[in-house]
Structure 1
Amino acid sequence: MENTKILLLDDREENLISLKAILNRDDIEIYATTSPNEALRIVWESDIAVALVDVQMPGMDGFEFAETLFSNPKTREILIVFVTAISKETTYAVRGLKTGAIDYLYKPLDPYITNAKVDSLIKLARSQREIRDKNKLLENYATIVLNSPDIIATVEPDTGSILSINPSVETILGITPASLVKTSVLDLLVDPAKSSLREVLVKRSFIGGETIVVEDQFYGRLRQPVWLELRIMYKNRLLFVNLHDVEKRKAHELALIDAQTQAEKARKTKESFLANMSHEIRTPLNGIIGLGNLLSATELNDAQTELVSMLRQSSGSLLNILNDILDISKIDDGKFSIIPTSTDLRVLGKGIVDLMQFKADEKQLGLRLEIGDNVPECVTVDGLRLNQILLNLVGNALKFTENGSVVLKMEHISKAATGHSIRFTVQDSGIGMTAEQLANIFSEYGQASENTSHQYGGTGLGLTISQKLVRLMGSELEVNSRFREGSQFFFTLLVPDANEKGSDAKPAVPFQNLPPFEGKKVLVAEDNPVNALLLRKYLKAWQLNAVVVGNGKGAVDQLREEMFDLIIMDTRMPEMDGFQAARFAREELHVRTPILSLSATVLPEEVAQALESGMNDTLSKPFEPEKLHQKIGLLLSTFATPAVSQF
């Protein structure tokens, strides 16, 4: 505790020395002087609690000194004790007390009496100081409460009755404080039955002493609901409640929830649209590609062979556009993965040039591959996506070039501990672009100009998806172009060395030359007549006995009657779809026959739904016959024992 400061004022030095000797204690800090003027300076500058003042002094006596202190608010509370050798007459004592003194000490001083009186004065001074400090604190609290922007109230915990409330209630709720005293706080609520505050009062959960925070809706001006946050504390058998206006925050939260709901609804709508679009386009596209395969297996003259080739090229272009749309959607939804594998860059580059050579020949353009000497043979990169990017860039370059050539370059830039920096460049001598056209070149569904779309065709998706794929691979697709002089698209990838050389792609085998599955019986559920025809032709070529039905119900009826080695089932069919039929077969008929799902969508959700319904594998339309053959072989070898029906 801080020492108590005591002033000793006496015109005789020997009396001060005597008083100091009597009051020599650790809890007292003594200021002593023979000058009343010096004493006035001391009490003004120091926090004096008790003053022992001689009565008879020249210039200013003790009474005048006491009156001076009492007249000033800053020094009025100093406890004054007169020290005197004069008479103890009543009139003399009364005069001293009227000047502000509270007691007398008479000379000669008795040390015991002096110390006892000083002790009591110190206790009294400390008590007064504590009261004064608490009063100031209460005044400060009262000022804070009165001027607080929040509503602050005291509430009776048993009844919820408001005992006091500050003026902010009128600002926030439009109700005068006086009209709310003795009113239940629950009467101000919009819905007391569902109120968090009511639950706190009923359960008396405030008894623990911890601050409880709840939110409730109160009636505001014109009976408009207002959200308030309540901080409730229980002390001295009262509830102290701070009510903070959170209407704006609550409105923001509700708007955010609504936005999230709308975004989720939009996402589901988009997924539904993509699934339907994929199914509606892929189903006939599978028929077109399949019919092209069937035609190519027949005897054709040169003109017919050329027409079939054009048919397959056109259907392939349509499939690429569809895949681009779905890829953009998957990237935007964060459902697209880059999968690095061992990739031979020379084989990849040669494959692109060989594939696009027919396009270059049609336009009588040069197309060549340039690979730097230091480019490693095999690196670890997502070869499938790198191939997709470069195919897009080379295809675009050929599309927009009328004279000259297109060059695909691979250059070794540098080598570091983490791998090789390889720059991939596609350069053309085509129409080029202006600065304005370059600004929007990577925007979705956009092309350099409206004219470009009419003259050269295309959706404008190729560059968009290429940029997105390059970014997923940790780089940026850049472009340099001059109008009517050509363009150069390039990006740099950091790729590690591959541990082993990637396997070369095997040439496609005509479906009629694939190995047979003799004596196996297959149930096919497919509602599209063209796709059903294709499956019959493929399965017959592979010596499989096929029973074809038009929907899931037909498949279930067939499974009740016969046993099969394999079931091939479309997912989307009328009356009963493939998911329902597979689940019924597994759960009701206890069929263990392997089921291959044929789906016209490539969305992960539908693949997961197929596996969850009891199907063993999936194949997306349009499919290559070789891929179907591979899936059939894998399922027949895995489930070698014929399935047994419930009968």
Structure 2
Amino acid sequence: MILEINQTASRYFEIQNQSEILNLPFSNLLAQDFTHFEYTSRKKKILSGETPSWDLEFKTLRGKKFWGNTSCRMISTHLNKIILVQIKDITEKVNTRKSLLEQAGTIAEHEANLNAIIENSEAMIWSIDKNYKLLIFNSQFQNVMQDFYHSEISTGFNLFQKELPPEIAKYWKEFYDRALSGEKVSVARKRPNQDGTFIFSELSFQPIRNTEYEITGVSAISVDITDKKLAEEKFRLLFERSSEPHVLYDDFGILECNPATLKMLRCSDKKLVLGKHPIHFSVETEKEKTNELESIALEKGSYTFEWVYKRFNDEEFSVEVTLIPIIIHQKRVFLSVWHEITERKVYEDSLKRAKEIAEAASKAKTDFLAMMSHEIRTPLNGVIGTVSLLEGTFLNTEQKEYLDIIKSSGQNLLILLNDILDLSRIESGQLKLEIQPVSPEKLTNEVVNLFRPMAEEKGLVVESEVSFNVPNWIISDPYRLRQVLTNLIGNSIKFTEKGKIHLSVEAEKFPNDKLRLIFHVKDTGIGIAEEKLELLFRAFSQVDSSTTRKYGGSGLGLTISKKLAELMKGEITVKSQVNSGSEFSLSILTEKLEYEIPAGVQELHSKNLATSAVISIQEFQFKEQIKKFCERNGFLVKMARTAKETIRIIGEEERIGVFLTDLNFPDMNLSEMLNELKKQNPSLKLTVILFMEKELKDSYYLVTNSLFNRPGFQIFMMFKPILLEELSKNFEKAFPIKVLKKQNENKKFLSEKIPLQILLVEDNVINQKIALRLLTKLGYNADSALNGLEGIEKLKTKNYDLIFMDIQMPEIDGYETTFQIRKDFGKSKPVIVAMTANAMEGDREKCLEAGMNAYISKPIQIQDIESTIVLLFQS
């Protein structure tokens, strides 16, 4: 009986009031009669849970007929079973089909085309009548079925007249009968192959109708899906057996998951998981976030991200999710693969915490060092400043000796403090190189000059040698390079009792236009045993305790030097032999710089000067060094091996201005050569520079004394080892140039040259007195303030040109004081110079960012104040 009908069905059957049809048998609506067997078998299929569909002809309550595609589904309630019937009007479709069948000629043509398509198809295609006899079939079907029947098949062949394999006979008969009853059947099945394997096929059976729409037979098609099935099977096996959770889901929830998923979720029943969306198990409950991740996966083909899910026991766990969009049965779904990373996340979190603890410890260490640096520098400023003031007073010999001890101890303490700070900066990664142009030759000469007095006090010789392949300019950090060389040469002098220290520089080409510069510091000192070399570069360590007692030192110098070398992309190596000396080699990676020779050096060869120089030196390296110097300063160089050759060159050249020689002529002495030159050219004017061995100084004076009064000759004598800076001075004397002449400064005080109104803001009374006294020595009568507020008040009553500003002060610190001054009195004036014990990395930059113009770190020395004033106010 009909229990309920919707509006669409009411329209189909022309029902004006539902009471017209309710409780009537469904068969009353059918326009065609069914046998009892047909009706019963169809009802049985529906009640078994199948959802069959048929094309049926219906009649309305007003007698009108129409065709409908009908599908039926059983719904069970707690009281009884109900059949839900869905009807779709296909009248137009059926009528069109009938119309086409009536067009015989066209159909024949189409039939030929259709036969060609059928024959060429890779699928098995065939049709049978109601008696299971073949009507149409293609060669694919024929080949397979002849193998089964072991006989020829042709049109009219009854498929069931011979026994088929049970796997085929079982379901073919059923599918044929269902199609003959008007049902469309689509299934996937496997059938045996002759070689014992199985072939998977998708089969489709449809009823064939005549012009009266009566069923006359069945058409069938079988498509080989073995490869697809095998791929699906492989996927299934991988899916099921994978140790990683695999989840298949669509918009409505999880379709399938493997055992690994259940294990990770701590779930024993798959039913509790299926149908739920993965977001259900997620700590992240924002659906929009999931949609965003799915969109990225669709765009890229796959997407991997981290997510946090929750197990059935409410325990949270972290996973790395790989999301892959795939198509299954023409439907887009997502495959989500989980890789648990909970342990990794715990480890990462522990690393993060350890890093934060380490950073906090490093910051605490840095803060402690900064505080200690400030606290030590403040009294140290008083000690060194007072010493500086006492040096300008009248002292007896004993007092001067005590003062030297205090000064030396203070300087050593400052060096140690700076070394500790440097080591701390390097270890914390805060020390940065300041890359700028550097002249290796000039740097080498400066370092050697610095240590020459100290070496001569011990009776040692310090000499330098720059290889001819070393470029004029490189790019590096001159301060740090000088720091390392100073440490190496200082150590050599300290541990050498007799002999010499030799500093040499050479260059090696390196790939990509780079250059490796190598500095060698070789001495004739006490040497180091091979087994103790590894102790050299350890912080606060020396080769043995007796070394510390005898020579002193903190053991930090080489440690810092090694780390600085590594910062400059180089290294320090050492070769040593006990009682024979050591050789330390510093290599750095740099590059040649095409850089202008500084003004002043260029002035050595103006248009008014002679432009040629003759060199007659026998020793090759020394000769190349002097030649290189002359060429750098603009001279055209001529080389001579003998006195006669020298006379010839000077006679032929018109603009020879200087002759450089070591007196080693094989054919005549210098006096004879000069006489010959004068004889050839009485008006000759020539500068002669003689290079002599220092040990033969007295005898050379006796031999060459008569040379100095010769008219037309200007003779300079230099003793080896030759410093190029001294050679430059002799050139300046030989060729006086106005731009190089220094005016004599007759003024006594810097204050007379640069008059300034100065204010000192310093809270430490001792440091205030020291700084005021140092300023007095420069001629300045400075005012003072004990804190920032007092300093600001003084600015309101007097215009100051320069303020020396301490940083750590009560009330307001130096930074805040500077901010207020710049705010109230302008950015340009007064000039503010930080004078502080803050000497850590970044303190200088912090002062400049606060609005200060310059920075001096304590302990303050008079040279620092003087050079800062000159730098800021010279113009």
TM-score (norm 2): 0.54
Q: 2:308 aligns with which of 213, 217, 227?
A: 217
User: 2:785: which partner in 1?
Assistant: 549
Deviation digits for residues 334-385 of structure 1 (CA, Å, limit 9, x no counterpart): 512353423436632541332423xx73xx5534425479698966576544
Once the two structures are superposed, residues 559-582 of structure 1 have per-residue CA deviations (whole angstroms, 9 ceiling, x without a partner) of 344432222111122332101111
Contact 2:750 2:779 in 1 (8 A): no
Is the CA contact (8 Å cut-off) linking 1:344 and 1:379 kept in structure 2? no
Q: 2:148 aligns with which of 66, 75, 79?
A: 66
Question: Measured at CA, do residues 347 and 310 of structure 1 come closer, stay the same or move farther in structure 2, by a change above 3 Å?
Answer: farther
**For residues 28-87 of structure 1, what are the alpha-carbon distances to aligned partners after superposition, in whole Å with 9 as ceiling and x for unaligned?**
89xxxxxxxxxxxxxxxxxx9444499xxxxxxx6xx5257xxxxxxxxxxx96149xxx
Query: In structure 1, what residue type is equivalent to 2:771?
Result: L
TM alignment of 1:160-309, pairs within 5 A: 161-176=253-268, 177-183=270-276, 185-189=278-282, 192=283, 195=284, 198-200=287-289, 206=295, 209-210=298-299, 214-220=305-311, 223-232=314-323, 236=331, 240-309=335-404
Partner of 2:233: 139
Matched position secondary structure for 2:501: strand
Which residue does the alignment assign to 1:117?
Answer: none
> Which structure: larger Rg?
2
1:612 aligns with 2:707: no
Matched, 1:564 2:800: yes
Deviations 1:180-199 (CA, angstroms, capped at 9, x unpaired): 2345644534xx4xx16644
Tell me the CA shift for residue 174 of structure 1. 1.9
What are the equivalent positions in structure 2 for 1:92-491 lying under 5 Å apart?
94-96=160-162, 98=164, 128-155=222-249, 157=251, 161-176=253-268, 177-183=270-276, 185-189=278-282, 192=283, 195=284, 198-200=287-289, 206=295, 209-210=298-299, 214-220=305-311, 223-232=314-323, 236=331, 240-332=335-427, 333=429, 334-342=431-439, 343-344=441-442, 347-357=445-455, 361=457, 364=458, 366-369=460-463, 371=465, 380=474, 384-401=479-496, 403-410=497-504, 423-430=519-526, 432-473=527-568, 475-491=570-586
Q: SS state of the match for residue 436, structure 2? A: coil
Aligned partner of 2:762 in structure 1 is 526
1:587 aligned to which of 815, 818, 823: 823
- Of 461-470 and 583-592, the range deviating more from structure 2: 583-592
Q: Distance in 2 between matches of 1:419 and 1:263?
A: 38
Supply the distance in 2 between the matched residues of 1:377 and 1:244 (Cα, whole angstroms). 58
The answer to whether the 8 A contact 1:518-1:542 is kept is no
Q: 1:519 Cα deviation (Å)?
A: 6.3
d(CA) in 1 for partners of 2:119 and 2:220?
Answer: 16
- Once residues 221 and 548 of structure 1 are traced to their aligned partners in structure 2, the CA distance between those partners, rounded to angstroms, is 75
Q: SS at the partner of 1:128?
A: strand
Change (3 A) 1:469 1:609: closer
Shift of the alpha carbon at 1:450? Answer: 4.2
2:180 match: none
Q: Identity over aligned residues, as a percent? A: 27
CA–CA separation in structure 2 for the residues paired with 1:260 and 1:229: 24
Q: RMSD in angstroms over aligned alpha carbons?
A: 4.5
Instruction: Give the C-alpha shift of residue 93 in structure 1.
Output: 6.0
8 Å CA contact retained: 1:565, 1:636: no
Which deviates further from its counterpart, 142-151 or 418-427? Answer: 418-427
Give aligned pairs, total.
Answer: 544
Change (3 A) 1:609 1:387: closer
Aligned residue for 1:642?
none
Summarize deviations over 1:372-430 as a string: whole Å, max 9, x none. 796989665765444433332233234334x4344233266889998896642231331
- Displacement of 1:619 in angstroms is 1.7
Change in CA separation of 1:377 and 1:169 when aligned onto 2, cut-off 3 Å: closer
SS of residue matched to 1:464 = helix
| Mapped partners of 1:178, 1:24: distance in 2 | 47
- Report if the CA contact (8 A) 1:206-1:212 is conserved: no
Distance verdict in 2 for CA 1:413–1:247, change over 3 Å? closer
Residue 484 of structure 2 aligns with an amino acid whose one-letter code is I
Structure showing greater relative contact order (alpha-carbon pairs closer than 8 Å, 6 or more residues apart): 1
Query: Counterpart of 2:161 in 1: which secondary structure?
Result: helix
Give the SS at the match of 2:856. strand
Contact kept? 2:306, 2:320, Cα under 8 Å: yes
In the TM superposition, what is the alpha-carbon distance from 1:539 to its structure 2 partner? Answer: 2.4
Q: Which residue in 2 is equivalent to 1:111?
A: none
Q: 1:267 to 1:581 in 2, by over 3 A?
A: same
Unmatched segments (≥5 aa) in structure 1? 1-21, 30-47, 55-61, 69-79, 104-120, 639-647
User: Distance in 1 between the 2:528 and 2:839 partners?
Assistant: 35
Which TM-score applies when normalising by structure 1?
0.70
d(CA) in 2 for partners of 1:220 and 1:282?
A: 61
**1:480 CA drift (Å):** 1.8
Label 1:605 to 1:353 Cα distance change in 2 as closer, same or farther (>3 A).
closer
Q: Secondary structure at the match of 2:752?
A: coil
- Please list the CA deviations of residues 594-629 of structure 1 after superposition, one character each: whole Å capped at 9, or x if unmatched: 211112233342222212222222222223313312
Partner of 1:82: 153
| Residue identity opposite 2:160 in structure 1 | V
Classify 1:209/1:346 alpha carbon distance in 2 versus 1 (closer, same or farther; 3 Å): closer
Q: Distance in 2 between matches of 1:145 and 1:24?
A: 39
